[in-house]
Amino acid sequence: MSIELASVVIVPGFPARHGFSTTAMGSMGLTGSPDPKSVLERRQRLAAEVGFDLNLALFAVQVHSASVKTFSRTHPQGAQSVLDTDALGTDLPGQALVTYHADCFPVLFADQRRGVVAAAHAGWRGSLKGVVSQTVQALHLTFGTDPQDLEVLIGPGICGRCYEVGAEVAQPLSAQYGRSERYLAQDAGGRPRLDLAALTRLQLEDAGVPSARIRAAGWCTKEDDRWFSHRAGRPGRFLAAIVAP
Ligand SMILES: [Zn+2]
């Protein structure tokens, strides 16, 4: 399923250049880092492995929202960091989009027909607000992307067996999206467990992305020590990167 290239993981067959950094590469978060210079060197290694220019990359500074920002060929303004957004989209050739993760999921989008890519960060808060649906909508409005043309990759994140949540999470999700049997289960103690990847898939299907075009990598950040994870006590951040063709 995956190929490991010097601590960057890619999913063969996904139709856009992309990669996920692993714990072997080290934490990618600058906030609170004792050694910011090493973080910047690691980001440079990731850029070299995936194949993009770090100086032109857009980094989402995420706030668990459903806010999407897009950068088009006709209005290519942008900076290295994009504040207060949880999803980025672009059709600028060679433009890299980067998101930060621990247990929340990276979701990568590719519209080969129009040369469009996007990256979203989806935890329970952003999913409640519909961040992946908003991303599909933003790509449609900005670039004319037909949801039926999208290929979507759900990257590493906490799985449905490991993600125990409270009623304050489970209740609003099932109230908003229904069909809770697809993404909520109860453990032996009667506590809810949330399968965020399954919820993401449901939201993508509702937004018009064909089921066959949605693939989930299936790597659990808590169970698999390649990934940083709050719940597993592996503090740090990994990056997801995707590059427009
Ligand atoms: Zn798990």
How many residues make up the chain in this entry?
245
- Name the helix (H) or strand (E) containing 143: helix 131-143
Half-sphere exposure of 195 (CA within 13 A, CB side): 18
| Range with top average pLDDT, 28-37, 74-83, 153-162 | 153-162
Ligand 1 centre to CA of 12 (Å) is: 22
Cα separation, 231 vs 162, in Å, equals: 9
| CATH superfamily assigned to domain 3-243 | CNF1/YfiH-like putative cysteine hydrolases (3.60.140.10)
Other beta carbons within 10 Å of 185: 17
What ranges do the domains of the chain cover? 3-243
Ligand 1 centre to CA of 162 (Å) is: 4
pLDDT digits (tens, 9 = 90+) for 198-238: 999 999 999 999 999 999 999 999 999 999 999 999 999 99
In 3D space, the residue among 76, 21, 11 whose CA is nearest the CA of residue 44 turns out to be 21
pLDDT digits (tens, 9 = 90+) for 171-202: 999 999 999 999 999 988 889 999 999 999 99
Cα separation, 59 vs 85, in Å, equals: 10
| pTM over the 0.85 mark | yes
pLDDT digits (tens, 9 = 90+) for 7-62: 899 999 999 999 999 999 999 998 888 999 999 999 999 999 999 999 889 999 99
Ligand 1 centre to CA of 220 (Å) is: 5
CA angle (146 as vertex; 180, 132 as ends), nearest 5: 35
